[in-house]
Structure 1
Amino acid sequence: MSALLLEISQLNRKFETSNGNVQALEGINLNINAGEFITVIGPSGCGKSTLLKIIAGLDIQHSGSVKLENQQVAGPGIDKGFIFQEPRLFPWLTVEKNIAADLSLRNPQIRQKVDELIELVKLKGFEKSYPRELSGGMAQRVAIARALLRNPKVLLLDEPFGALDAFTRSHMQDVLLDIWQKNKTTMIFVTHDIDEAIYLANRVVVLKPRPGSIRRIFPIDLPYPRKRSNVSFQEFRFKILNEFEKIEELELIDSSGI
């Protein structure tokens, strides 16, 4: 049994707007073990990205508790890597310098680590390339390598493949799984795509909106590598789709005032 890594207890986040207060998250309770791959899915506006930013320490205006290795998360740090939807690379730096970021490649340990990560994300031969010379998928691999350089305890990914075409997205899912299996980094991945959520995760967390809260958690007990055409895969897809239909029904009831 893996050790408990992340403990979220009674997490609430409220935003003040010109139209009044909006309860973005309410009563989130979630424990994540070291080495798990968790996907978070739900309708737009259910607080998926807000949850990720709170775990990253980028948003601390909340109530409740978020602990990483039993330490309260009070701000961003090297123990938490974050991947955005767009790669956010420095256009004037090469691949290897983007990965190293503010660390010097003249340091033998940094040089070795960068070389290992380039190998891990399958960018060997592109070390001297600039972002403008890379495809979207390659640029995201650079961003992932950069986030892994400091050996974060958890890697947080906010729809990192959302802007990619279907073929590249599928390829990047396999690349990410390969990185996860080799590196053993705990990953929390936000997506709108049900198939992507099932394909990647040990557990799929389904959020419902207004206020954002956990509707259901699905353990995905399928062996890797997974096939989307597999009957068991499709059964999970049906169950999660069914959960979304229930959420939509509740939304219609709330909006009609019944």
Structure 2
Amino acid sequence: MSKLVLNHITKSFGNQKILYDVTFTVKEGEFISILGPSGSGKSTLFNLIGGILLPDKGSIQFDGKEITGKRGFISYMPQTPALMPWRNILDNVLLGQEIARKHDHKKAYEMLEKAGLKGYEKHFPYELSGGMKQRVSFIRSLLSPQSLICLDEPFSALDEFTRFEMQKWLLSIWQEYKRTILFITHNIDEALYLSDRIIVLSNKPATVQKEFIVPFLRPRKEEILHSTDFLQWKKQIYDEIKKHSVNKH
């Protein structure tokens, strides 16, 4: 059964059409990446899925229910960690549960330990590095009651080494908890390394140009990044994005 279904979504702001006839599905437990040129409407898509915006046309279903324009069905992790500076790390990761009036301190401590953050529970965000803050933000998403997590370029501000370490950590946590993830990125390597499928959007007005089923077995090994197969897939996806990156008139 599909977890999330987008049916013919179209969205404009004023006279500028951002999304046109976007249709795709996300299945239970899948890790899906959305790739596309900068400014192609990827973040707008998340705002629509989260119920912050309404589409001009089309509908969104989640677990078989109509959720178009409704909030509270997804957990969202933005590009910056967006931690509450006045709350310690434990209180930050429990925020989603607090809103849902659930408190699982045991699981929070367990996940912080798995994230290498044991001993930091009572620290404040300003005391953590960028990568540590991102881990806290992701744990908050995992502890929230929603089963679909939308990640909007969560590692884009990190240096290359920290970014790869975070990718490996994200995969290990995802393998264990098997949440459904929709992941926005500009980075083809990142999409290939993390995903089950990759959805390629065109430039504005964005539409789904192609879907790629990633062939690499799980658990993913670091060595695949340097394999001939990986480089060939990267070129194929790059060519697809380039082909559709010219503005439409």
Same-fold call, TM > 0.5? yes
- Report if the CA contact (8 A) 1:59-1:75 is conserved: no
Contact 1:152–1:185 under 8 Å retained in 2: no
Are 1:44 and 2:38 matched, yes or no? Answer: yes
Is 1:229 paired with 2:226? yes
- The answer to whether the aligner puts 1:113 opposite 2:113 as a matched pair is no
Paired AA for residue 13 in structure 1: K
* 2:204 paired with 1:210: yes
Q: Tell me whether 1:64 sits opposite 2:89 in the alignment.
A: no
* Structure 1 equivalent of residue 155 of structure 2: 161
Note the alpha carbon deviations across 1:207-252, whole angstroms, 9 max, x for none: 001211011110001013142101111111010111123124xx27
Q: For structure 1, which segment, 225-234 or 183-192, has the greater mean C-alpha deviation from structure 2 after superposition?
A: 225-234
Deviation string for 1:64-119 (max 9, x for gaps)? 01100011123221x31100111111112111111112766xx9952112112213
The one-letter code sitting in structure 1 at the alignment partner of 2:220 is P
**Match of residue 3 from structure 2:** 5
Specify every segment of 5 or more residues in structure 2 that has no aligned partner in the other structure, as ranges: none
SS of the aligned residue for 1:142 comes to helix
What RMSD, in angstroms, separates the aligned Cα atoms of the two structures? 1.9
The residue number in structure 2 matching 1:240 is 237
- Structure 1 residues 103, 181: CA separation in 2 closer, same or farther (over 3 Å shift)? closer
Aligned amino acid, residue 133 of structure 2: A
* Separation in 2, partners of 1:194, 1:219: 14
**Matched positions, count:** 243
Partners of 2:170 and 2:10 lie apart in 1 by 30
The amino acid across from 2:175 in the alignment is Q
Matched, 1:84 2:78: yes
Give the partner amino acid of 2:13: F
Where does residue 15 of structure 1 map in the other structure?
13
TM-score normalized by the length of structure 1: 0.89
Which residue, out of 175, 179, 189, partners 2:169? 175
- In the other structure, the counterpart of 2:91 is 97
User: Is the Cα contact below 8 Å between 1:14 and 1:22 reproduced in 2?
Assistant: yes
CA 1:100–1:204: 2 relative to 1, 3 Å: same
Match of 1:126 among 120, 123, 134: 120
Which residue is 2:134 aligned to? 140
The more displaced of 56-65 and 150-159 is: 56-65
Describe the superposition over 1:181-218 as per-residue Cα deviations: whole angstroms up to 9, x where unpaired: 11110000001111111111000111001211011110
| Greater C-alpha Rg | 1
Q: 1:61 to 1:241 in 2, by over 3 A?
A: closer
Q: Which position in structure 1 is the counterpart of 2:70?
A: 75
Q: Is the 8 A contact 1:206 1:214 kept in 2?
A: yes
**Identity, % of aligned positions:** 36
Q: Tell me how far apart the structure 1 counterparts of residues 114 and 47 of structure 2 sit (CA, whole Å).
A: 26
